[in-house]
Structure 1
Amino acid sequence: MRLLPRNDPRQYDDLAGEWWRPGGTFELLHWLAAARGALVPPAGRAGAVLVDAGCGGGLLAPHVQRLGYRHVGVDLRRSGLEQSADRGVIPVTGDVTALPLADGAADVVVAGEILEHVTDLSGAVAELCRVLRPGGLLVLDTVNDTAVSRFVTVTLGEHFGAAPVGIHDPDLFVDPGELTTECAKHGVRLRVRGLRPSTAGLFRWLFLPAGTRRRPLGRMIPSRSTAVVYQGMGRKQDEELR
């Protein structure tokens, strides 16, 4: 694989074959996608839209495909969008800091494992909230800005293959207090909780021979600690109620 700077989005082109490989480099992302999907309610109206910001290879698709939404996936990399389209996602090329969508276009906005990759957090949050209609739901997960998360995600994660080398820039990890404040500026009261991988699943992923790995290997479960990975959700208030 090419040697690229940390957090360079071109890495996802080099890793395109990993999106759906059981037990592959992106295995934990499947568990996180399932945890996000569990927070999305069935569509409340005909024609409801779910915007999947930073959709990658479309890992959320199987977890929301029966909920009644038009699933729109926005991502920078065509290699991921092509795989999303194969799974029924409407692909849109775009940056999460400048979403090519109308104000209030979405009933649900999902932002999974993308905020720790953006260099303009406030701009990204503003866009996620802008395209969300009043009363709409924001669902996200990201990596906390702590010494523990840097050690687990970068030092240990890259050493043991739980994360591709260089995929993260720890300087971009996201403090939940800052994220909650940014969301509140746009009328979304975000509630957060910690997540962690199931111990047995993580063991199977890391230590079972590659040829014996079959999904589901594990899952993400709620945790009292938000020190590494955390999940957030909140609804957008009407302007007049803020």
Structure 2
Amino acid sequence: MNAATINPQEAAHFGALAADWWDPHGSSAMLHKLNPVRLAYIRDQIDLHWHVDARERYALAGRSAIDVGCGAGLLAEPLARMGAAVTGVDAAPENIAAAKAHAAGQGLAITYHAGELAALPAATFDLVTSMEVVEHVTDPAAFIGELAARLAPGGLMILSTPNRTMWSKLLLVEAAERVGAVPRGTHDWDQFLKPEELTEMLEGAGLEVIDRSGLSPSAAKGFKLGGSEALNYLLAARWPG
């Protein structure tokens, strides 16, 4: 496959947020609240998939990982700290510049690319992640196909995305953008995917969905795993067999 899935308007929108991506109180504050919960899910799936002891610090030692739609590296850096050889790719050059600068400051060796996933050198990865990205591309099915093409045999793919429900329209789009919890124009509710739709795309790419979890608001922690999928959910997939 060699699909072009970047939406230039979306890339420009997120590129404009690059300067304060790492500020937990800035325009990406919601991502900073989401990230620990997403990381917990990713770690659980890594441990289950590769039979890793939950106490192991370097759960991805000797493995490769790619984070697609990596922004300024909010997920790529923790994956590197787990021992993975990490590649990050993002549509916005501004995000990649910020990601490279931050990783250098942390002493982390992460390979970053700006542009289409399909334009990267041919390679597959043990872990493929793409968080809150599929709802921003021009052709979700083609994008999922590109992700699948990057997944190595025996590998693990993890995705997260908002659900297309009335709750997500009210809370993630209308309320969150009105009060400034997320920047205006971040979400297009019509582009959200229901779990069944995303599952069908993954299966169409030859993958098998092995787990799904809701990601819902929590008064104590901001967000929590499990429970309702009405706002957001995570999926884990692999090659069958």
TM-score normalised per structure 1: 0.80
65-74 vs 120-129, greater mean Cα deviation: 65-74
Per-residue CA deviation, residues 64-106 of structure 1 (Å, 9 max, x unaligned), is 222221110011111111122232331112225x352425x10
Distance in 2, Cα, partners of 1:19 & 1:153: 19
Tell me the secondary structure at the aligned position of residue 109 of structure 1.
Answer: strand
Q: Name the counterpart of 1:92.
A: 113
**Contact 1:196-1:221 at 8 Å conserved across structures:** yes
> Which of these residues, 195, 199, 214, is aligned with residue 176 of structure 1?
195
Structure 1: tracts of 5 or more residues without a match: 203-219
**Aligned-pair CA distance for 1:225:** 1.2
Per-residue CA deviation, residues 184-226 of structure 1 (Å, 9 max, x unaligned), is 1233222221102331344xxxxxxxxxxxxxxxxx3113211
State the one-letter code of the partner of 2:217: P
**Contact 1:148-1:228 at 8 Å conserved across structures:** yes
> Which of these residues, 186, 190, 194, is aligned with residue 214 of structure 2?
194
Tell me the secondary structure at the aligned position of residue 57 of structure 1.
Answer: coil
Percent identity between matched residues is: 33
Tell me the secondary structure at the aligned position of residue 10 of structure 2.
Answer: coil
TM-score normalised per structure 2: 0.81
Matched, 1:139 2:158: yes
Equivalent pairs, count: 213
Matched, 1:225 2:228: yes
**Contact 2:216-2:227 at 8 Å conserved across structures:** no
Structure 2: tracts of 5 or more residues without a match: 1-6, 47-58
Matched, 1:107 2:126: yes
Matched, 1:116 2:135: yes
Per-residue CA deviation, residues 102-139 of structure 1 (Å, 9 max, x unaligned), is 25x10000000101111211001111111001110001
Tell me the secondary structure at the aligned position of residue 167 of structure 1.
Answer: coil
With over 3 angstroms needed to count, the CA separation of the structure-2 counterparts of 1:197 and 1:115, relative to structure 1, is same
Q: Name the counterpart of 2:79.
A: 64
**Contact 2:24-2:32 at 8 Å conserved across structures:** no
**Contact 1:33-1:59 at 8 Å conserved across structures:** yes
